[in-house]
Amino acid sequence: MLDVEKIKRDIPLFQNYPNLIYLDSCATTLKPRYVLDKMDEYYQEYGVNIHRGVYELSYRATEEYDKARKKIAKFINASFEEVIFTRGTTNSLNMIAQTYGMANINPNDEIITSELEHHSSLLPWMKVAKKKGAILKYIPLNDEGRITVENFKKVLTDKTKVVAITYVSNTMGYLTPIREIIELAHKQGAVVIVDAAQAAPHFKIDVCELDCDFLAFSAHKMLGPTGIGILYGKKSLLDKMDPEEYGGDMNNDVFHDNVIVKETPYKFEAGTPAIAEAIGLGAAIDLLEKIGFDNIRQHEKELHKYALEKLSSVSGITIYNKTADIGIINFNIDGVHPHDASTFFDQANIALRAGHHCAQLVTKWLKCNGTLRACIYIYNSKQDIDIFVKTVQEVVEFFRQFSEV
């Protein structure tokens, strides 16, 4: 069982806004003091550049940066060489599309994705398909809005070269049957790219067990800083790929007409990296593992169930994902635009998300102009849920008076 009050005391933002009910963790999580302190420690005690600096401070900065990569590799059960620092999940997924995709997709090849995808997972492959004359195919969603193995089989063929798919939907909170999909895709010789941005904060990921070819996630979704993310790739694939960017620290030798790049992962990390942010991500992983992912999952499940039970007594709302696998409640106040409703929530010190959530194909599938999204995480409590549900009822009643005029 989580000590929510202790967790909140360790997050400075809650000290500045003690009445805040934060239900927007799918967009970004709040940052614990420990993470901020580790980043501040870098800037104040050894804040110099890594690699090539033949002096003590640079040695220490390099050592701490490498420690972070080792932590992340262990966190997802990968090797050190298979972990690439990027600017975030969006950057990671675009990198794969622009490097592996542009080099390996040919006319009439098939790329499979789904309507549940975040734009970062969908749009790069849409661009590749258009440029290369490939065919972009969508896994049909079932009546609940889920990806199923049966529906995946309907679009998988011997022409499938890439499957770009979410691990957990950022709008519906549904878990994809990812292991089965990867196994089926590999039997057809396809490569699978997994968007794990909404998975990494909630449960352990084992890339070896999944056998995925590439996987991406972001630090800021899991108590870490903004501006840094991870791209995992099988070394056998990374070794064959050209870098997307060229510059300092990614080459071994430069000639007038050629360049010899470093081994992976360094050939993909041109320029000065986000050193403090990498250290911050390492600190966030330390915290999550100390809390324990089993405890995190149990806490979220209990609060999610509690919230749905409380909301069931409120008339005038539509919940689109009552069977979500993680603590995401995707809903609307009947007859009220989500942006109007979210303004009311803001006045009650409740932070949640309104709109398409960077996944417009989902809202099109739902046949609405956007939704409200409340996301439950480790610093939320039953008291938060009680106030949230009470405010939902107040929003319904406030706007109902105008519809009755």
Domain ranges of the chain: 4-28+292-403, 35-289
Farthest-apart Cα atoms in the chain, separation: 77
pLDDT at 366 over 60: yes
CA distance 119 to 110: 19
Tokens encoding 196: 């794990």
- Topology (CATH level 3) of domain 35-289: Aspartate Aminotransferase; domain 2 (3.40.640)
pLDDT at 405 over 60: no
For residue 390, which phi and psi values (nearest 5 degrees)?
-60, -40
Share of the chain above pLDDT 70, in %: 99
Residues forming a β-bridge with 96: none
Omega before residue 32 within 30° of 0, cis: no
Query: Within 10 A of 229 (CB to CB), how many other CB atoms are there?
Result: 27
Tens of pLDDT, residues 283-303: 999 999 999 999 999 999 999
Write out the H or E segment, with its range, that includes residue 332.
Answer: strand 328-333
Question: What percentage of the chain exceeds 90 in pLDDT?
Answer: 98
Q: Which residue has 């040919």 as its token pair?
A: 106
Rounded distance, CA 229 to CA 13, Å?
Answer: 22
**pLDDT of res. 400:** 86
Burial 269-286 (b: 16+ CB within 10 A, else e): bbeebbbbbbbbbbbbbb
Collapsing DSSP states into helix, strand and coil, what is residue 351?
Answer: strand
Q: How much is the average pLDDT of 118-140? A: 98
**pLDDT, mean of residues 172-194:** 98
Which CATH class, in words, describes the domain spanning 4-28+292-403? alpha beta
- The CA distance from 140 to 339, in Å, is 29
Residue owning tokens 């960077």:
358
Annotate 201-227 with b (16+ C-beta within 10 A) or e (fewer).
Answer: bbbbbebeebebbbbbbbbbbbbbbbb
- Characterize the bridge pairing of strands 317-319 and 328-333: antiparallel
| Predicted confidence band of residue 52 (pLDDT cuts 50, 70, 90) | confident
What is residue 53's predicted lDDT score, i.e. its pLDDT? 87
3-class secondary structure, 100? helix
Tens digits of per-residue pLDDT, 240-292?
999 999 999 999 999 999 999 999 999 999 999 999 999 999 999 999 999 99
| Amino acid making up residue 153 | K
Element (H, E) at 348: none
- Burial pattern 126-147, b for ≥16 Cβ within 10 A else e, equals ebbbeebebebbebebeeebbb
Cβ atoms 379, 21 nearer than 8 A:
no
Query: What does the pLDDT read at residue 404?
Result: 61
Instruction: Quote the pLDDT of residue 402.
Output: 74
Decide if pLDDT at 327 tops 70: yes
In the block, residue with structure tokens 């963790």: 25
pTM: 0.97
Please check the confidence at residue 27 and state whether its pLDDT lies above 80: yes
Q: What is the mean pLDDT of the chain?
A: 97
Q: Are strands 371-375 and 328-333 parallel, antiparallel or unpaired?
A: antiparallel
375 has catalytic annotation = no
At residue 360 the predicted structure's pLDDT band, cuts being 50, 70 and 90, is very high
Residue tagged active-site, from 212, 358, 368, 375: 358
The answer to whether 197 touches 118, Cβ cutoff 8 Å, is: yes
Confidence of residue 216 (pLDDT cuts 50, 70, 90): very high
